[in-house]
Amino acid sequence: MVDTEPRTADERMRALEGKHVLSIILYIKDRGSCMKTDIYNDVSQNPRSLEKVEVLESMGLVTIEPVDRKRTRISLTDKGLRVAGKLDEIRSIL
């Protein structure tokens, strides 16, 4: 788990401003769920991008579930789906 979990609404908004965070949310939404390695390979090959998934989990936007000893599945929660839906609306406007 990440040491600095966003606690206030402003901190949570700033967490969403991080590089690739919105792309990660939309990537998961477009696929239904994915593995951590998918995010690393397809969204950002920066190892810190996986830390951002843990921040999203602390915000209640994703769940992280082990599939086996080496693989982890990431899915959006209901709250995460609502956020992704709003991002899709913005994406369609742009």
State both tokens at 93. Answer: 């406007």
Q: How many CA atoms lie within 13 A of 80 on its CB side?
A: 27
State both tokens at 31. Answer: 């696929």
Predicted TM-score (pTM) of this structure: 0.83
Query: Does the CA dihedral 32-7-47-94 come out positive or negative?
Result: positive
Order the strands of the 72-76 sheet from edge to edge. Answer: 33-35, 72-76, 62-66
Q: Model confidence over 45-66: pLDDT tens digits?
A: 888 888 899 999 999 999 999 9
Higher pLDDT, 17 or 54: 54
Domain ranges (residues) in the chain: 9-93
What DSSP element (H or E) covers 33?
A: strand 33-35
For domain 9-93, the CATH architecture is Orthogonal Bundle (1.10)
What DSSP element (H or E) covers 79?
A: helix 78-93
